[in-house]
């Protein structure tokens, strides 16, 4: 129900909200202020719980399909020069996550992890053109015999200050399973082979682990 990356924050928030509610009950005489503090405490806890939610997703495994790795909105579909790993032209597809989205990152294809690297960096807003090059980020490449190599990049934003990446070189991964987590919003870039058929449009809302965003 909730992602393991949020357990510590959830417990600390619960304790904080409980203390605030009790202090308001026994230390604040004004009824309106008392109830306001208690309501704010409950709302804060609800927001934290919804942020770290980890709903089960039913992934239909298909070697020809590339599924969305995250929940969010498609903001980029274009051919670009990918200079970190491929060093040639690729089809970039980017998905922006707001703080209200589920923030679990899932594997877009099954295969073997052949590259995984963390880059420290800045915290520009996620839609900034240079965020994929300058912000804190992780780069992961997964390969299989059908699709070939696909690169995905978890990118921190102005609010997202921690990226969790589970992919390690040599791992055998399964499409739709947990690949990591980005705390408090940001975006994920995918770099696909040129000629890949894209099944989504700009501004389309996608669901991680379920929606097929491209196919070979």
Catalytic residues: 186
Q: What order do you get walking across the sheet with 212-215 strand by strand?
A: 65-67, 212-215, 197-198
Q: Are 199 and 93 in contact (CB under 8 A)?
A: no
Q: Is 128 exposed, middle or buried (0-12, 13-18, 19+ CB in 10 A)?
A: middle
Tokens read off for 35: 């109830």
Widest pairwise Cα distance in the chain: 69
Which among 41, 216, 2 is positioned nearest to 111, based on CA atoms? 216
Query: How far is residue 200's CA from residue 203's CA, in Å, rounded to a whole number?
Result: 9
What is the dihedral angle through the alpha carbons of 28, 34, 48, 206, rounded to the nearest 10 degrees?
A: -160
Residues paired with 188 in a beta bridge: 95, 154
CA distances from 5 to 2, 106, 162 (A): 8, 14, 10
């Amino acid at each position: 129900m909730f992602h393991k990356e949020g357990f510590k924050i959830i417990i600390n928030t619960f304790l904080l909200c409980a203390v605030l509610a009790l202090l308001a009950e026994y230390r604040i005489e004004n009824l309106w202020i008392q109830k306001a503090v208690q309501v704010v405490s409950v709302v804060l806890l609800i927001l934290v719980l919804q942020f770290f939610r980890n709903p089960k997703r039913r992934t239909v495994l298909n070697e020809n399909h590339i599924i969305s790795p995250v929940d969010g909105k498609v903001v980029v579909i274009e051919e670009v020069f990918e200079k970190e790993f491929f060093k040639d032209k690729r089809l970039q597809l980017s998905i922006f996550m707001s703080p209200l989205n589920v923030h679990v990152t899932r594997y877009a294809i099954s295969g073997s992890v052949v590259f995984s690297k963390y880059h420290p960096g800045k915290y520009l807003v996620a839609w900034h053109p240079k965020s994929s090059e300058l912000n804190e980020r992780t780069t992961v490449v997964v390969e299989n015999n059908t699709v070939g190599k696909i690169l995905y990049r978890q990118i921190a934003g102005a609010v997202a200050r921690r990226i969790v990446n589970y992919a390690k070189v040599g791992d055998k991964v399964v499409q739709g399973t947990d690949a990591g987590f980005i705390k408090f919003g940001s975006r994920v870039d995918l770099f696909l082979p040129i000629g890949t058929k894209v099944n989504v449009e700009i501004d389309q809302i996608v669901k991680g682990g379920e929606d097929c965003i491209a196919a070979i």
